[in-house]
């Protein structure tokens, strides 16, 4: 389609150029026939890579991703997919370990297909990831394909353009004047445009006024910001850069932080409620409203040489105020109140009916064959089922959590190797099983504690992500709060030609130029 | 103090209403710019809207003094705040383009939004721990400001469409324009109906089962639909209606799902009745009624205002609804992005407007297409405000 890349003005243009780099004259036949060259002006009529090379497989991939149309389609598909994912809750918000069954039960046929089609966990799915990656690639290719020629073109602008170029602008003006008037008119124009903060260059009987060029770099800077942002998100996959765990710590407990050489101690968990006086009547039925969730925590680091724990951070963890140490953040996320922590049991002599004494069983810290001494008796722990249940008439534990603690004790006289066995389930002595026993073990008291649920987070690429966001913002502000406007004027053969171009806000440009008295014959072509 | 706050809000409402009247007068008198009379009405209109904004700011400050926190924490507060930002965005664009017609359409939208906000409980509620952060004012206000600018973009797009299709009898564009206007009318109808029943202290209560737990669902409007499998606890009689007309479908199981379905029905019905009355009296479709107001407008001007409002709003929205949101989410929930429905819809809004900007700046979509996209963007914002808050539950459901 391009027969000749050499312009009449003598300039040699690269293949694929639409408007001569020097004088702006249309080069291909199609453009020559057009009344305006607004579309062609977008990248100054420069040859873009995507329009120049079209043969190798790389070119085809490049050309595909360099299309803004493709970029928009990718955006729209992602947008629609993302919205579908919010129709029902995502799997991670669903209180069930069997999502397939849950969705069908809760949301019927639609829920079933929502799960089958993979929408229930779509934001972590490979295809959603692929969509976002494609947008990322499109960002890079689109930007590179355009910014390089645009930069070159705007850097080497000629003041003197051809009449053809000026007449084909969307905003134009034309008047006849004598050679004597020409100089004066151009000088007036120069002054008027300068008063509107244009930077004006003059070359004999030609003039170029320009302002807000910074606006043209906005989109590319903002795209660079987005690329950095996406790159930052990708960095999460570097081992050790990202951690997302949860942990439960009971009051008084020191617990290892998952996957990290740290330990957390919960020195106390508190919930403060708002005074009912401050709660509006309509909300009072719903029960008290929490004002504060607070975990008083100490963070320890393990010294690998000595094996000792060294406190490194201490403080309150509140919602919105995580405990931070180096890259680690502990975030207040959940709580459980009134958990069974220890049982006080008493040893009773059934014959006399008198209690011989008490001992405390710490439900989280029991060793096999642990011995509790009560007066001259020894109570030995033979078996412990924290979450007792019967399966085929055999005792088992459903979980390691002491939801229904059951014990098999053996009570021995001091120094003896054998004694009598007894079962204690949830603090109740099962006397029917062991009727001939002399001693019974009964509940004397319970110790309850609260437990705090903490999120354990490491996100080392956060600064990269934030940096990307800042760059993106700078680009957006440059692109949208500045406007690139140019006005060309040329006196040729007794006529003054004026052409003006902007990449956006045509009405404002028109209004601005109309305010300058010199543009009495201003015309705007509608398209 | 509470009384003062309510009065300030009432004043704001009437000032916006007066501003609307002034701007409408301005559009009827002579052509857009030349006539001194229309300029006078324009000046009165913008003056009223500025005083209105000052009153709303005083309302916000009073509320902060009472509640001790920035009032963007529930549906009433946020919707009122969105109305506030729309008017601010309008004032900025008015001084850039001096368009009285814009005021004649934006200010009524502000009135409708404020009326809609008033449907929700006004009480100052104590702030739950998740919201106790400096980011509550920073993130929500910035995001709302961006949305306010998008709102002005929507209105300018609507004006452009009324200009283009207001007198057309049929056609896709005319039909969809009419539908858009009827939906706005439904908000008017719903707010009016609510106001009426509120002054009557209307109440109906039902007991039913939610997630295996017995629950009570309260209605402030007469129950056209009752919750599925529910029993009446009490019901105020209204116009002979002593029983609900029907039951909500069984899949509507949420805590307030049936009551919200009831609200939607009331909105649709009252909007339809209003629409019928208007058509009977005016003997013209809505677009035809509005058309004389915009007939002298410069289409290039409103077309550019629509784009410009969105271009101004886009960076602000990005900062508030995405970047600030991520910083806060990181602090409160330990992750900067968690695919919570509200987050997803903020992203959808952002993607939609970036598609709009690419289509316009790169593919040359101007005029009608661009105006429809501006309308579509605001629909997404309203979905995010209403549907996501009230219907889809998530971390952001504070209403």
For residue range B244-274, list pLDDT tens digits in order.
888 887 766 666 778 888 888 999 999 999 9
Determine the residue of chain B that is closest to A277 in CA distance: B126
B243: pLDDT confidence band, cut at 50, 70 and 90?
Answer: confident
Determine the residue of chain A that is closest to B302 in CA distance: A507
Q: How far is A449 from chain B (nearest CA, A)?
A: 22
Q: Indicate whether A71 and A52 sit together in one domain.
A: yes
Does residue A123 lie in a domain region? yes
- Give chain A's domain count: 4
Does residue A147 lie in a domain region? yes
Q: Does the CB of A84 have a partner CB in chain B at under 8 Å? A: no
Does residue A428 lie in a domain region? yes
Contact B362 A108 (CB under 8 A): no
At A333-344, the pLDDT tens digits run 999 988 888 888
A424-438 average pLDDT score: 74
Question: What ipTM was estimated for this complex?
Answer: 0.90
Token reading at A139: 């960002």
Residue B398 has pLDDT above 60, yes or no: no
Q: Which strand (E) or helix (H) includes residue A388?
A: strand A388-391
Distance of alpha carbon A425 from alpha carbon A408, whole angstroms: 9
At A387-397, the pLDDT tens digits run 888 888 888 88
Name which of A38-42, A167-171, A262-266, B138-142 the model is least confident about.
Answer: A38-42
Distance of alpha carbon B121 from alpha carbon B118, whole angstroms: 7
Distance of alpha carbon A506 from alpha carbon B308, whole angstroms: 11
B contacts of A102 (beta carbons < 8 Å): none
Q: Does the CB of A231 have a partner CB in chain B at under 8 Å? A: no
Distance of alpha carbon A236 from alpha carbon A242, whole angstroms: 5
Residue B89 has pLDDT above 70, yes or no: yes
Top-confidence range, A89-93, A403-407, A466-470: A466-470
Contact B315 A329 (CB under 8 A): no
A103-131 average pLDDT score: 87
What stretches of chain B show up as alpha helix (H) in DSSP? 2-28, 36-67, 75-97, 100-117, 135-165, 172-199, 257-282, 286-294, 299-317, 325-333, 341-361, 367-382, 388-390
Token reading at A15: 């293949």
B contacts of A90 (beta carbons < 8 Å): 339
Q: Indicate whether A374 and A458 sit together in one domain.
A: no
Distance of alpha carbon B86 from alpha carbon B16, whole angstroms: 12
Distance of alpha carbon A498 from alpha carbon A489, whole angstroms: 4
Q: Strand pairing of B225-226 and B246-247? A: parallel
Distance of alpha carbon A98 from alpha carbon B28, whole angstroms: 64
Contact A504 B352 (CB under 8 A): no
A70: nearest Cα among A132, A143, A150, A142? A142
Torsion sign over Cα A67, A68, A70, A75: positive
Q: Indicate whether A128 and A70 sit together in one domain.
A: yes
Q: Does the CB of A288 have a partner CB in chain B at under 8 Å? A: no
- Residue A419's pLDDT is what? 81
Residue B399 has pLDDT above 50, yes or no: no
Determine the residue of chain B that is closest to A459 in CA distance: B335
Q: Indicate whether A465 and A436 sit together in one domain.
A: no
A125-131 average pLDDT score: 91
Q: Indicate whether A314 and A407 sit together in one domain.
A: no
Does residue A9 lie in a domain region? no
Determine the residue of chain B that is closest to A462 in CA distance: B336
Distance of alpha carbon A163 from alpha carbon A492, whole angstroms: 8
CB neighbour burial string for B165-186, b if at least 16 within 10 angstroms, e if fewer? bbeeeeeebbeebbebbbeebb
- Angle, CA of B273, B279 and B280, to the nearest 5°: 90
Residue B164 has pLDDT above 90, yes or no: yes
- Residue A177's pLDDT is what? 85
At B272-312, the pLDDT tens digits run 999 999 999 999 999 999 998 898 888 999 999 999 999 99
As to burial, measured by CB atoms within 10 angstroms (0-12 exposed, 13-18 middle, 19+ buried), residue B50 is middle
The answer to whether B151 and B378 are in contact (CB under 8 A) is yes
Question: A517 or B70: which carries more pLDDT confidence?
Answer: B70
- Residue A184's pLDDT is what? 87
What predicted TM-score, i.e. pTM, was given to this entire model?
0.89
Question: B198 or A488: which carries more pLDDT confidence?
Answer: A488
Token reading at A365: 């810290």
CB neighbour burial string for B351-380, b if at least 16 within 10 angstroms, e if fewer? bbbbbbbbbbbbeebbbeebbbbbbbbbeb
Name which of A402-411, A452-461, B14-23, B42-51 the model is least confident about.
Answer: A402-411
As to burial, measured by CB atoms within 10 angstroms (0-12 exposed, 13-18 middle, 19+ buried), residue A373 is exposed
Does residue A13 lie in a domain region? no
- Residue A1's pLDDT is what? 43
Residue B56 has pLDDT above 50, yes or no: yes
- Residue B290's pLDDT is what? 93
Token reading at B351: 């993607």
The answer to whether A429 and A422 are in contact (CB under 8 A) is yes
Residue A415, C-beta contacts closer than 8 angstroms, at least 6 positions apart: none
As to burial, measured by CB atoms within 10 angstroms (0-12 exposed, 13-18 middle, 19+ buried), residue B49 is buried
Q: How far is B195 from chain A (nearest CA, A)?
A: 18
A26: pLDDT confidence band, cut at 50, 70 and 90?
Answer: confident
Token reading at A272: 């403060």
Q: Indicate whether A501 and A371 sit together in one domain.
A: no
- Residue B396's pLDDT is what? 59
Query: For chain B, what are the domain ranges?
Result: 2-166+301-390, 171-284
A contacts of B353 (beta carbons < 8 Å): none
Q: How far is B165 from chain A (nearest CA, A)?
A: 19
Collapse the DSSP code of A80 into the 3-class scheme (helix H, G, I; strand E, B; otherwise coil) and give the result: helix
B233: nearest Cα among B219, B246, B212, B248? B219
B313: pLDDT confidence band, cut at 50, 70 and 90?
Answer: very high
Distance of alpha carbon A293 from alpha carbon A283, whole angstroms: 20
Q: Indicate whether A314 and A460 sit together in one domain.
A: yes
Domain that holds residue A361: 340-447
Distance of alpha carbon B387 from alpha carbon B260, whole angstroms: 10
Residue with tokens 């000792």: A308
- Residue A431's pLDDT is what? 67
Q: Does the CB of A474 have a partner CB in chain B at under 8 Å? A: no
Q: Does the CB of A34 have a partner CB in chain B at under 8 Å? A: no
Distance of alpha carbon A432 from alpha carbon A413, whole angstroms: 22
Does residue A3 lie in a domain region? no
B33: pLDDT confidence band, cut at 50, 70 and 90?
Answer: low
- Which of A72, A80, A112, A485 to probe the B interface (max B CBs under 10 A)? A72
The answer to whether B107 and B18 are in contact (CB under 8 A) is no
A187-215 average pLDDT score: 92
Q: Indicate whether A182 and A132 sit together in one domain.
A: no
As to burial, measured by CB atoms within 10 angstroms (0-12 exposed, 13-18 middle, 19+ buried), residue A238 is exposed
Which residue among B121, B326, B334 places its CB closest to the CB of A457?
Answer: B334
A–B CB contacts, 8 A cutoff, strictly below: 142
At A132-162, the pLDDT tens digits run 999 999 999 999 988 998 998 888 888 999 9
B contacts of A78 (beta carbons < 8 Å): 351
Determine the residue of chain B that is closest to A74 in CA distance: B355
Residue A203 has pLDDT above 50, yes or no: yes
Does residue A237 lie in a domain region? no
A317-325 average pLDDT score: 93
Does residue A191 lie in a domain region? yes
Question: A285 or A499: which carries more pLDDT confidence?
Answer: A499
Beta bridge partners of A394: A391
Residue A278, C-beta contacts closer than 8 angstroms, at least 6 positions apart: B126
Residue A94 has pLDDT above 70, yes or no: yes
Token reading at B164: 């283009």
Q: What is the CATH number for A512?
A: 3.30.310.80
B contacts of A455 (beta carbons < 8 Å): 333-334
A282-297 average pLDDT score: 84
Q: Indicate whether A141 and A183 sit together in one domain.
A: no
DSSP 8-state symbol, A321: B
Q: Indicate whether A330 and A465 sit together in one domain.
A: yes
A375-382 average pLDDT score: 85
At B70-80, the pLDDT tens digits run 999 888 999 99
At A59-86, the pLDDT tens digits run 888 889 988 899 999 999 999 999 998 8
Distance of alpha carbon B227 from alpha carbon B209, whole angstroms: 9
Top-confidence range, A1-15, A311-325, A404-418: A311-325
**What value does the mean pLDDT of chain B take?**
89
Distance of alpha carbon B161 from alpha carbon B367, whole angstroms: 9
CB neighbour burial string for A330-354, b if at least 16 within 10 angstroms, e if fewer? bbbbebeeebbbbbebbbbeeeeee
Residue A307 has pLDDT above 70, yes or no: yes
């Amino acid at each position: 389609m391009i027969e000749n890349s050499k312009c009449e003005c003598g300039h040699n243009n690269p293949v694929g150029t639409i408007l001569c780099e020097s004088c702006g004259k249309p080069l291909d036949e199609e453009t020559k026939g057009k009344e305006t060259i607004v579309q062609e002006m977008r990248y100054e009529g420069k040859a873009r890579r995507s329009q120049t090379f079209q043969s190798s497989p790389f070119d085809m991939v490049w050309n595909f991703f360099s299309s803004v149309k493709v970029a928009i389609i990718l955006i729209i598909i992602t947008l629609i997919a993302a919205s579908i994912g919010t129709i029902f809750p995502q799997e991670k918000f669903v209180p069930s370990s069997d999502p397939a069954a849950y969705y069908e039960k809760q949301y019927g046929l639609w829920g079933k297909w929502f799960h089958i089609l993979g929408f229930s966990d779509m934001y972590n799915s490979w295809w959603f990831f692929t969509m976002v990656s494609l947008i990322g690639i499109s960002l890079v290719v689109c930007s590179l394909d355009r910014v390089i020629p645009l930069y070159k073109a705007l850097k080497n602008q000629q003041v003197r353009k051809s009449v053809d170029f000026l007449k084909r602008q969307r905003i134009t003006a034309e008047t006849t004047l004598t050679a004597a008037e020409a100089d004066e008119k151009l000088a007036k124009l120069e002054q008027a445009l300068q008063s509107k903060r244009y930077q004006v260059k003059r070359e004999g009987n030609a003039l170029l006024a320009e302002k807000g060029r910074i606006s043209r770099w906005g989109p590319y800077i903002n795209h660079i910001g987005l690329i950095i942002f996406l790159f930052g998100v990708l960095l999460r996959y570097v081992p050790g850069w990202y951690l997302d765990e949860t942990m439960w710590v009971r009051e008084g407990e020191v617990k290892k932080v998952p996957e990290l050489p740290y330990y957390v101690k919960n020195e106390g968990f508190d919930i403060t409620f708002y005074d009912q006086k401050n709660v509006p009547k309509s909300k009072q039925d719903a029960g008290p409203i929490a004002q504060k969730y607070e975990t008083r925590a100490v963070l320890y680091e393990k010294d690998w040489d000595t094996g000792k724990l060294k406190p490194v951070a201490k403080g309150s963890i509140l919602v919105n105020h995580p405990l931070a140490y180096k890259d680690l953040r502990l975030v207040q996320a959940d709580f459980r109140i009134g958990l069974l922590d220890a049982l006080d049991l008493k040893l009773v002599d059934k014959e006399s009916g008198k209690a011989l004494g008490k001992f405390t069983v710490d439900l989280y810290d029991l060793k096999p064959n642990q011995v509790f001494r009560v007066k001259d008796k020894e109570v030995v722990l033979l078996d412990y089922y924290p979450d007792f249940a019967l399966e085929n008439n055999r005792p088992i534990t459903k979980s390691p959590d002491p939801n229904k603690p059951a014990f098999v004790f053996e009570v021995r006289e001091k120094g003896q190797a054998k004694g009598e066995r007894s079962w204690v389930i949830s603090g109740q002595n099962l006397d029917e099983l062991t009727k001939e026993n002399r001693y019974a073990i009964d509940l004397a008291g319970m110790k309850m504690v609260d437990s705090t649920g903490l999120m354990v987070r490491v996100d080392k690429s956060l600064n990269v992500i934030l940096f990307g966001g800042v760059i993106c913002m700078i680009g957006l502000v440059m692109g949208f709060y500045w406007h690139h406007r140019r006005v060309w004027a040329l006196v040729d053969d007794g006529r003054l030609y004026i052409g003006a171009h902007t990449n956006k806000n045509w009405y404002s440009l028109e209004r601005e130029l109309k305010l300058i008295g010199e543009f009495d014959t201003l015309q705007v072509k509608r398209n | 103090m509470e009384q003062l706050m309510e009065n300030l809000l009432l004043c704001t409402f009437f000032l916006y209403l007066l501003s609307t009247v002034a701007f409408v007068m301005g559009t009827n008198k002579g052509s857009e710019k030349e006539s001194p009379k229309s300029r006078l009405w324009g000046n009165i209109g913008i003056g009223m809207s500025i005083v209105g904004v000052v009153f709303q700011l005083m309302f916000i400050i009073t509320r902060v003094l009472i509640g001790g926190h920035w009032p963007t924490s529930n549906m009433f507060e946020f919707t009122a705040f969105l109305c506030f930002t729309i008017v601010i965005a309008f004032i900025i664009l008015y001084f850039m383009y001096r368009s009285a017609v814009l005021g004649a359409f934006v200010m009524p939208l502000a009135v409708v939004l404020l009326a809609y906000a008033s449907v929700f409980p006004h009480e100052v509620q104590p702030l739950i721990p998740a919201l106790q952060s400096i980011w509550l004012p920073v993130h929500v206000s910035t995001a709302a400001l961006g949305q306010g600018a998008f709102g002005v973009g929507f209105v300018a797009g609507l004006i452009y469409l009324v200009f283009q299709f207001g007198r057309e009898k049929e056609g896709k564009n005319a039909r969809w324009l009419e539908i858009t206007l009827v939906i706005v009318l439904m908000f008017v109808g719903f707010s009016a109906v609510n106001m009426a029943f509120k002054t009557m202290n209307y109440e109906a209560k039902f007991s039913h089962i939610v997630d295996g737990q017995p629950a009570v669902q309260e209605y402030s409007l007469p129950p056209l639909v009752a919750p599925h499998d529910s029993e009446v606890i009490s019901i105020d009689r209204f116009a002979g209606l002593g029983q609900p007309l029907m039951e909500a479908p069984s899949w509507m199981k949420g805590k307030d799902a049936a009551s919200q379905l009831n609200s939607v029905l009331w909105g649709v019905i009252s909007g339809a009745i209003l629409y019928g009355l208007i058509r009977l009296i005016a003997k013209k479709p809505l677009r035809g009624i509005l058309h004389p107001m915009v007939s002298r407008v410069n289409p290039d001007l409103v077309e550019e205002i629509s784009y410009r409002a969105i271009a101004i709003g886009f960076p602000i929205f990005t900062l508030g609804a995405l970047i600030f949101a991520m910083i806060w989410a990181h602090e409160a929930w330990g992750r900067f992005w968690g695919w919570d429905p509200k987050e997803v819809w903020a992203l959808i809004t952002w993607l939609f407007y970036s598609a709009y900007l690419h289509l316009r700046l790169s593919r040359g979509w101007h005029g009608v297409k661009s105006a429809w996209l501006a309308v579509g963007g605001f629909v997404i914002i309203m979905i995010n405000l209403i549907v996501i808050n009230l219907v889809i539950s998530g971390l952001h459901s504070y209403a």
